């Protein structure tokens, strides 16, 4: 059986969006919660490895975890704002600009999170570096980041947040 999280980024010819609603939003928020939790565990692993790896930037994984938590909240805000063209309560008009701006901002920050995670992973995965025990956590984190990034990219490409 294929899970909802695995299929939510697949483009179906009989479905033209929106990808920033319902199960897609919850799937992305769930993936970002997974990323945040894994990064918090990586921060703990790094603190424990400090005696043998004093070069580890102990605040980096926690800063990335905080970024993932904020992204999850913003992804949920995208769902609450509704699809582009929908009325936004209290906004006095169409929510196109607000939704589009937030979607672009979330996509940019998602890219920054992914790059930060790659950088942090390289610190402990490089040749000749002592193993600190974070490898399984990175293996948990990477697919969740990829799925969320793919869903956001698909949403932007579908025109829900025109550039």
| Residue 99 resides in a domain | yes
Enclosing domain of residue 33: 18-157
| Residue 13 resides in a domain | no
pLDDT recorded at residue 129: 80
| Residue 5 resides in a domain | no
Q: What is the number of residues in the chain?
A: 163
Domain count, the chain: 1
Cβ 29 vs Cβ 68: under 8 Å: no
pLDDT recorded at residue 97: 67
| Residue 72 resides in a domain | yes
pLDDT recorded at residue 78: 79
Q: Which segments in the chain show pLDDT lower than 70?
A: 1-22, 81-97, 159-163
| Residue 6 resides in a domain | no
pLDDT recorded at residue 60: 97
Global pTM reads: 0.75
pLDDT recorded at residue 61: 97
Query: Looking at the DSSP assignment, which residues form a beta bridge with residue 87?
Result: 94
CATH number at 110 reads 1.20.120
Kindly report, residue by residue over 125-163, the tens digit of the pLDDT: 877 787 899 999 999 999 999 999 888 888 777 765 434
| Residue 11 resides in a domain | no
pLDDT recorded at residue 159: 61
Other beta carbons within 10 angstroms of residue 134's beta carbon come to 25
pLDDT recorded at residue 101: 81
Which candidate, 109, 150, 110, 112, places its Cα nearest to that of 24? 150
List the beta strands (DSSP E) in 20-103.
Answer: 87-88, 93-94
| Residue 8 resides in a domain | no
Query: Looking at the DSSP assignment, which residues form a beta bridge with residue 94?
Result: 87
Q: CA 33, CA 28: separation in Å to the nearest integer?
A: 9
pLDDT recorded at residue 46: 96
pLDDT recorded at residue 84: 47
| Residue 9 resides in a domain | no
């Amino acid at each position: 059986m294929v899970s909802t999280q695995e299929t939510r980024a697949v483009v179906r010819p009989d479905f033209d969006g929106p990808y920033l609603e319902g199960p897609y939003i919850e799937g992305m928020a769930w993936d970002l919660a997974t990323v945040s939790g894994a990064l918090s565990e990586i921060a703990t692993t790094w603190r424990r490895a400090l005696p043998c790896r004093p070069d580890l930037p102990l605040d980096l994984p926690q800063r990335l975890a905080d970024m993932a938590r904020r992204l999850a909240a913003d992804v949920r805000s995208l769902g609450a704002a509704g699809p582009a063209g929908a009325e936004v309560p209290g906004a006095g008009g169409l929510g196109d600009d607000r939704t589009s701006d937030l979607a672009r901002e979330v996509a940019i920050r998602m890219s920054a999170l992914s790059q930060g995670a790659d950088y942090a992973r390289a610190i402990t995965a490089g040749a000749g570096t002592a193993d600190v025990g974070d490898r399984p956590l990175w293996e948990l984190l990477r697919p969740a980041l990829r799925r969320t990034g793919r869903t956001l990219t698909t949403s932007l490409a579908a025109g829900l947040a025109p550039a």
